[in-house]
């Protein structure tokens, strides 16, 4: 749970005495604000706000905790501002990439950012789950990041969705790899190796729904990266999706199936004021799309 973010919700509602006005002040919609405040109340074990027809009223616990919450929110803002000042003073650019990106795109992103900000600048790269990258950009710890789409992108600025080529990999001795026109139902009996759902629930659910629409309801086995994915496939127990292009790999076959449907959808998210950095990374993605 992002405690500071949820405390910011509480402070905004307490200041505005109204959920709608607090949502406007936070530049978000009211439902996630209400849900976030309830999540905070469950986390703290106390009710903070009474919801009435006239608006939002602080509970006794809310009145006692508001000063401390306000201090934490203000201190977090000062901490982020100071960290950004230090980073900019050192000429550092911090960016992130989803682990689903191929290595060549990550290194191309680093090169593009170095070219833009100058050879003397430092480009720091974080490879992480999409949900964590959004948190880092929202908190100012990353200037820009490439995440999977769809994803919850509240509190950050977003770029257009780009489709990158992705392939289905299956065991080399599996029947799907031995026919001219494989289809999804042929993969029945294999597990679907994929990153954990927690890494990005919307994208995970989208790909599982796609498989079911194509007639395949496979059990899920979680893998951390492409290396673990290819190992599971070579073991003969799983299939999966990868952005790594076809290569001679013992025990693994690359299958060209529904390329548009299984393409990796990504987008750049950025903090306010990082438009130029985001544009540089966007150009890398568009070049990769045309490969």
264: β partners: 164
What residues have CB less than 8 Å from 56, skipping those under 6 apart? 13, 14, 16, 17, 18, 19, 22, 49, 50
For residues 192-201, give the mean pLDDT: 93
Is the pLDDT assigned to residue 118 strictly greater than 90? Answer: no
Class in CATH terms, 90-163+265-289: alpha beta
| Cα 174 off chain centre by | 33
| Averaged pLDDT of the chain | 90
Task: Say how many Å lie between the first and final Cα of the chain, rounded.
Answer: 39
Is the pLDDT assigned to residue 30 strictly greater than 90? Answer: no
Is the pLDDT assigned to residue 189 strictly greater than 90? Answer: yes
Domains 90-163+265-289 and 166-262 agree in fold? yes
pLDDT at residue number 90: 54
Provide the CATH topology of domain 166-262. D-Maltodextrin-Binding Protein; domain 2 (3.40.190)
**Count of helices and strands (H, E) across the chain:** 10, 13
- Residue 219 per-residue DSSP state: P
pLDDT at residue number 94: 92
Task: Please spell the DSSP secondary structure of 35-53, one letter per residue.
Answer: HHHHHHHHHHTS--EEEET
For residues 170-174, give the mean pLDDT: 97
C-alpha dihedral sign at 247, 127, 227, 182:
negative
Is the pLDDT assigned to residue 24 strictly greater than 80? Answer: yes
Instruction: Give the 3-state secondary structure of residue 158.
Output: strand
Is the pLDDT assigned to residue 193 strictly greater than 90? Answer: yes
State pLDDT tens for residues 75-102. Answer: 888 887 776 666 555 568 999 999 999 9
Specify the residue for token string 């650019």: 93
Show me where the domains of the chain are located. Answer: 3-85, 90-163+265-289, 166-262
Q: What distance in Å separates the CA atoms of residue 256 and residue 80, rounded to the nearest whole number?
A: 45
Is this model's pTM higher than 0.85 or not?
A: no
224: which 2 tokens? 């951390």
CA dihedral 264→186→215→251, nearest 10 degrees, is -30
- Residue 26 per-residue DSSP state: T
pLDDT at residue number 21: 87
Q: What distance in Å separates the CA atoms of residue 193 and residue 94, rounded to the nearest whole number?
A: 30
State pLDDT tens for residues 207-264. Answer: 999 999 999 999 999 998 999 999 999 999 999 999 999 999 999 999 989 999 999 9
pLDDT at residue number 162: 96
Q: What distance in Å separates the CA atoms of residue 221 and residue 223, rounded to the nearest whole number?
A: 7
Class in CATH terms, 3-85: mainly alpha
């Amino acid at each position: 749970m992002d405690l500071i973010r949820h405390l910011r919700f509480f402070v905004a509602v307490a200041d505005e005495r109204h959920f709608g006005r607090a949502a406007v002040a936070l530049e978000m919609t009211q439902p996630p604000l209400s849900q976030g405040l309830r999540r905070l109340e469950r986390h703290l074990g106390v009710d903070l706000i009474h919801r009435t027809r006239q608006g939002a009223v602080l509970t006794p616990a809310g009145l006692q905790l508001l000063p401390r919450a306000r201090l934490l929110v203000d201190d977090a803002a000062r901490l982020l501002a100071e960290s950004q000042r230090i980073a900019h003073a050192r000429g550092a650019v911090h960016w992130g990439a989803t682990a689903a990106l191929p290595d060549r795109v990550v290194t191309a992103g680093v090169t593009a950012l170095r070219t833009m900000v100058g050879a003397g600048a430092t480009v720091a790269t974080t490879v992480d789950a999409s949900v964590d990258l959004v948190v880092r950009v929202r908190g100012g710890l990353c200037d820009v990041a490439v995440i999977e789409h769809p994803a919850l992108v509240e509190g950050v600025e977003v770029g257009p969705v780009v489709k990158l080529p992705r392939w289905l990999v299956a065991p080399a001795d599996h029947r799907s790899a031995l026919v001219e026109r494989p289809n999804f139902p042929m993969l029945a009996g294999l597990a679907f190796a994929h990153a954990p759902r927690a890494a990005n629930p919307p994208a995970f659910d989208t790909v599982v729904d796609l498989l079911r629409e194509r007639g395949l309801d496979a059990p899920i086995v979680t893998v951390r990266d492409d290396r673990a994915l290819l190992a599971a496939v070579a073991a003969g127990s799983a299939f999966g999706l990868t952005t790594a292009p076809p290569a001679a790999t013992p025990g693994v076959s690359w299958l060209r199936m529904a390329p548009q449907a299984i393409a990796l959808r990504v987008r750049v998210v950025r903090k306010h004021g990082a438009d130029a950095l985001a544009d540089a990374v966007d150009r890398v993605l568009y070049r990769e799309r045309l490969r």
